[in-house]
């Protein structure tokens, strides 16, 4: 589970504001998500959480960074 969360974060890292530190905590639903959809499904869920928290850099700004 820890490896899947690290990989999901690594794949999302370029989309996030760089001025924050994050702590990801694995709960049992994430384990079920990993079993059903693999790391890609975990990545989508991590992105959803960051999107809800307004932590993603807008796509236009990402190109210039």
User: Could you give the angle at which helices 2-12 and 28-52 cross, rounded to 10 degrees?
Assistant: 20
Return the domain boundaries, the chain. Answer: 2-64
- If 0-12 CB within 10 Å is exposed, 13-18 middle and 19+ buried, where does residue 41 land? middle
Q: At residue 13, does pLDDT exceed 70?
A: yes
Q: At residue 62, does pLDDT exceed 70?
A: no
Instruction: Give the mean pLDDT of 42-59.
Output: 89
The backbone torsions φ and ψ at residue 16, rounded to the nearest 5 degrees and listed phi first, read -100, 155
For the chain, give me the number of helices (H) and strands (E)? 3, 0
């Amino acid at each position: 589970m820890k490896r899947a969360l690290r990989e999901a974060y690594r794949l999302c890292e370029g989309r996030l504001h760089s001025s924050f530190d994050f702590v990801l905590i694995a709960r049992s639903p994430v384990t079920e998500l990993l079993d059903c959809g693999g790391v890609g499904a975990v990545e989508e869920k991590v992105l959803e959480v960051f999107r809800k928290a307004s932590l993603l850099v807008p796509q236009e700004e990402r190109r210039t960074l």
